[in-house]
Amino acid sequence: MSRGFSLADRVVLVTGASRGLGWAIAEAMAAAGGHVVLNGRDRATLEARAETLRGRGHAASVAPFDVTDEAAVARGVHGVVVAHGGIDALVANAGINHRAPVENFALADWRRVVDTNLTGAFTVARAAAAAMIERGHGRIVMMGSIMGRAPRPTIAAYAAAKGGVAALTRALAVELGPRGITCNAIAPGYVVTDMTADLADDADFDAWLTARTPLGRWGRAEEIASAAVFLASDAGAYINGHVLVVDGGLTAGI
């Protein structure tokens, strides 16, 4: 591996790391040499994932906390800093979705989605940034979505939250850049995960997507993970405030 893409001796905190894109990102960060700290809400699941990485010869540990709990975020990030001496990179990946027609979209569901996808990203980034500022270096990678700029029906909260993530990314880039910290986001297109399983199983939607996407297929989780490694590594050192769309060209024609 090129030295620029190496994460050797780097501590990388990945939220929502027990499954889906978060797990793929954790695997890629570990393969790049990073010490991956896996976050999620269920300690047992995280420990099993960490053991899988350690079984491959990688460095991994866990930091269970709920990104929607401000106090738990502060304690969890502080614990990572104390245990490992700091945080070199954060991937704020934790996210959920809820589908409902706007006229039936309950405010409680709106708040749950926005609190997890946007406010949760902010609170974790705020806590990690404080530790990074002390060292004068850091990488923050947010998880956005093409739904933030090209939404489909019934996901108003998700689209709004992901649009907010893009704006938050630029705001943090401007504020933290002078302190040696970059902030970027990845906006995945349609990737096969448990969150999109119902769409992947829909023959009509699958036909529409593969016909509409210039590369003619769904994305793979490891392709999003590779982009995260790039943005967290020295290879991406001069990229700041950017939303990297990884969608096979789906939105290029919009």
What does the alpha-carbon distance between residue 219 and residue 201 come to, in Å, rounded to a whole number?
15
Q: Which residue among 23, 110, 158, 230 is the active-site one?
A: 158
Burial classification of residue 230, based on how many CB atoms lie within 10 Å of its CB (0-12 exposed, 13-18 middle, 19 or more buried): buried
CA-nearest of 34, 1, 5 to 233 is 5
Q: Which CB contacts under 8 angstroms, 24+ apart, belong to 75-80?
A: 76/39, 76/127, 77/13, 77/124, 77/127, 77/128, 77/131, 78/127, 80/11, 80/13, 80/37
> Is 190 noted as a catalytic residue in this protein?
no
Residue partners of 182: CB distance under 8 A and separation at least 6: 138, 139, 140, 173, 176, 231, 236, 237, 239, 240
Q: Which residues are known to be catalytic?
A: 158
